[in-house]
Structure 1
Amino acid sequence: MLTAKRKLHFNTDSRGRKRIDREPKPKPVVPQGRVPRVSKLLALAIHFQQLLDDRVVADQSDLAWLSQVTQPRITQIMNLLMLSPEIQEEILQLPKVVEGKDPIHEKLLRPIAAEVCFRKQFELWQKSHGLRTSEEP
């Protein structure tokens, strides 16, 4: 009588069926760090604006109620949309924070967002953060 010993690795396919693999699949490498909070807030503001545009919610008061935050906080978050598209793009592409505090906070962006001229916004952005990654508009 012959006995063969071999390790079997069971995986599931896209339809949930079990299958046998000869080699285990390598586990995906999870990038270290976390997304900066200001990037998350800007993404949230974009999502909120889409909800308003699609008339899923009536106004910012509804957003505040659904999000369980105050109306002034919703206004602060939505004011991030007043930043120039170039600055918004840079914020959304900020590198992950590996350790320590976030380098940029929403509170620091408020005076920049209050500026009406995009060119002046970009100048303020450069002076206050020195994170210029794209060409000036």
Structure 2
Amino acid sequence: MTHIQAKFQTTAAARGQHRVTSPTAAKRPPTPRLPHVSKLMALAIRLDHLLATGQVKDQAEIARTAGITRARVTQILNLLQLAPDIQEAVLHLPPVTNGDIVTTERDLRTVLQSPNWSKQRQVWNKIGSAPPCSKTS
């Protein structure tokens, strides 16, 4: 008869329960993932394409189909008002893991407060986790 030995760790869970985990699972590094704002920027570009080609009638149809509010669709599409180089920088933000400092949607809304692309770039360059934009016009 063969015996198998394994080490396990337990952690306290809700209501006095315990969770059993493998010690090797706890040591795995977190998987890098795309920043949420990069996904939103890509979604904005895709939604704009769907509207431009007539594949969807209007923002209300997008909202109904996606199960989100029309206001949320507007927030996402507003990302298209960013300067083109900022849009590109948002799309190419490096992958993040838990605990990384990331550019947030709130950061982008701050950038969007100015319709002037030069001013947008100034605000963007002040965001600590954002890659700098060098264009001045």
TM-score by length of 1: 0.71
Question: Partner residue of 2:23?
Answer: none
Contact 2:56 2:62 in 1 (8 A): yes
Contact 1:39 1:94 in 2 (8 A): yes
Partner SS, residue 129 of structure 1: coil
Aligned pairs (5 A) from 1:18-33: 32-33=31-32
Partner SS, residue 96 of structure 1: coil
- The answer to whether structure 1 residue 121 and structure 2 residue 120 are counterparts is yes
Aligned pairs (5 A) from 1:77-92: 77-92=76-91
Deviations 1:60-107 (A, max 9, x none): 111111111001111111111100001011111100002225611112
Q: CA–CA distance in 2 between the matches of 1:133 and 1:127?
A: 8
Contact 1:84 1:121 in 2 (8 A): yes
Contact 1:37 1:102 in 2 (8 A): no
Q: Which has the larger radius of gyration?
A: 1
Number of positions where the alignment pairs a residue of Structure 1 with one of Structure 2: 106
Question: Partner residue of 1:43?
Answer: 42
Aligned-pair Cα RMSD in Å: 1.6
Q: Offset at 1:108?
A: 1.9
Tell me the amino acid that sits aligned with residue 115 of structure 1. Answer: S
Structure 1 unmatched ranges of 5 or more: 1-31
Distance 1:47 1:36, change over 3 A: same
TM-score by length of 2: 0.71
Deviations 1:13-53 (A, max 9, x none): xxxxxxxxxxxxxxxxxxx4000000000000000000000
Question: Partner residue of 1:61?
Answer: 60
Tell me the amino acid that sits aligned with residue 98 of structure 1. Answer: T
Distance 1:74 1:91, change over 3 A: same
Tell me the amino acid that sits aligned with residue 114 of structure 2. Answer: E
Moved over 6 A (4+): none
